[in-house]
Amino acid sequence: MPHSIIFDMDGTLFQTEKILEVSLVETFNYLRDSDEWKEETPLQKYKEIMGVPLPTVWKNLLPHHSEEIREQANVYFLEKLILNIQKGKGALYPQVEEVLETLHKEGYSLYIASNGLVDYLQAIVEYYHLDRWVTETFSIEQIDSLDKADLVAYIQEKYDFKQGAVVGDRLSDIQAAEKNGLTSIGCRFDFAQETELAEADHVIDDFSSLNEVIRVIEKLHA
């Protein structure tokens, strides 16, 4: 029976970097216009924490602001992200479409599990027609704990599989695989950190390498 593969979205399938800066700058300009921010846009700080749920993002970026202001910033940021996706300012990583198509044709079950919000993920899926190959896309919003490991467990339970892999660029993806008995494949892409990748079972430097790694995993579990 073909294994299942769960992909992270940001920094794994989707080059978030291409829409991140412009959307974040627009959001902090909005905060400046509201007299809620006077410093530079904390782009580097956001890059360092990429991959955590958005409520955690805004607690880090706006540590001295109220929950109301954080929520306003979150809503505005999400709107700008989606608009920039729909304008075609983002991009999938090279070879993503080709690799997903190949895996799908070979009978692998493909899923997306992301810390992104539902509307944001849906915008990416719709713009790039990822549902041609991906069975279902899951958001951290669907899990009360906001824990990627619990989200992966939810996917396993829904689709009834115990073997497979989690492909992602951050520690949350690697730990989600480990906690659920799956193989972790780390992506050495834009937001990846070497200390986190060191905990992965396998690491790829580009998406085209994924097919070969999947073959290796299949042989190990044959």
Answer yes or no: do 76 and 119 share one domain: no
Answer yes or no: do 43 and 79 share one domain: yes
pLDDT, position 222 = 67
Pairing of strands 109-114, 134-139: parallel
| C-beta separation of 118 from 139 below 8 A | yes
pTM of the model: 0.91
Answer yes or no: do 158 and 128 share one domain: yes
Answer yes or no: do 203 and 130 share one domain: yes
Answer yes or no: do 213 and 126 share one domain: yes
Tally of domains in the chain: 2
pLDDT, position 1 = 39
List per-residue pLDDT tens for the chain, 222 residues long: 358 999 999 999 999 989 988 999 999 999 999 999 999 999 889 888 876 777 888 999 999 999 999 999 999 999 999 999 999 999 999 999 999 999 999 999 999 999 988 999 999 999 999 999 999 999 999 999 989 999 999 999 999 999 999 999 999 999 999 999 999 999 999 888 999 999 999 999 999 999 999 998 888 776
**CA-to-CA separations, 8 to 100, 151, 186, in angstroms, rounded:** 13, 11, 10
Answer yes or no: do 63 and 95 share one domain: no
Answer yes or no: do 128 and 215 share one domain: yes
CA 37 – CA 154 distance, rounded (Å): 39
pLDDT, position 153 = 98
- Look up the domain containing 97 and give its range: 4-15+91-220
* Domain termination site, one of 58, 86, 114: 86
Answer yes or no: do 68 and 178 share one domain: no
Torsion of CA 5, 9, 14, 16, to 10 degrees: -160
Answer yes or no: do 44 and 98 share one domain: no
Answer yes or no: do 103 and 55 share one domain: no
**CATH number for 116:** 3.40.50.1000
Specify which residues 92 forms β-bridges with: 14
Answer yes or no: do 63 and 142 share one domain: no
Answer yes or no: do 21 and 10 share one domain: no
pLDDT, position 191 = 84
